Amino acid sequence: MDLTKPLRCIVKLGGAAITCKNELETIHEENLATVSLHLRKTMVTGSSSESTIGMDWSKQPGKSGIECTADDFREHEVGLASPFIVVHGAGSFGHFQASKSGVHKGGLDRSLVKAGFVATRISVTSLNLQIVRALARGIFQSDSICI
């Protein structure tokens, strides 16, 4: 990413919009896919649904292998029209763990609170991974990813 370009914007994906708030640790897949599509159309140069290559090269549950090769990138223009930052809320991730362990009350000297911090971090990190994967399927290209 060219850090000399001005920052175009900061996009916040609200936790209640991208997760099912009443279902523990559940992504609202349709909303996240829609947001990803809109961000791609708005932010990426030369982007269309047909021409964008995903950057998620990890093995996914239920899939037999990795579905992308370096050759897939040879014919595509890459790059962001201008830099932007995506942040997100937690929605149905992390709040249950934090609440049950009393993290909001402090007290790191108590084992339950320490365990609560760990459990909350694991939950929110799993959400972050799912969001990064969703965005990597269609927004980020080449060297424009910074996590």
| pLDDT tens digits along 50-93 | 455 555 656 666 766 666 666 655 555 555 566 778 899 999 99
Give dist(CA 31, CA 3) in Å, integer: 30
Share of the chain above pLDDT 70, in %: 62
Distances (CA, A) of 91 to 17, 38, 44, 46, 119: 8, 20, 27, 32, 15
Residues 25 and 93 sit within 8 Å (Cβ to Cβ): yes
Name which of 11, 30, 12 is nearest 20 in CA terms.
30
Is pTM beyond 0.75 here?
no
Give yes or no for residue 109 having a pLDDT over 50. Answer: yes
